[in-house]
Amino acid sequence: MAYDYRHMVALADPTRRRVFELVAQRPRSVAELTHSLPVSQPAVSQHLKVLRDAHLVRAEPRGASNVYHIDPQGLEDMRAWLDSMWTDALGSFQEAINKKMETKE
């Protein structure tokens, strides 16, 4: 499965990962996120832009601001990639065990 790593790159930054975790707990506005983080509102907005571009969060307009939610499709894409890695790892492990068993016979 081809993967462009945008999710991993977006989550590599610790502050951005914290923004993502807060939004995962419940939908939040930029102002709410800013109150929970030791960074400025413009910094929070920039982190949200990166997360939106990676399809990890989505914005829902509400009045003069946006409320951010987890983007389920982006999470599904990332999970599918992680699941494929896990499947590949288990397959390789099984092959190694089978080869070891063959050499013992």
Q: In sequence order, what are the residues at sequence separation of 6 or more whose Cβ sits closer than 8 angstroms to the Cβ of residue 41?
A: 30, 31, 34
* Cβ pair 86, 75 in contact under 8 A: no
Q: In sequence order, what are the residues at sequence separation of 6 or more whose Cβ sits closer than 8 angstroms to the Cβ of residue 39?
A: 15, 47
> What are the tens digits of pLDDT across the range 37-82?
999 999 999 999 999 999 999 999 999 899 999 999 999 988 888 8
pTM (2 d.p.): 0.78
In the numeric block, which tokens belong to residue 85? 């890695």
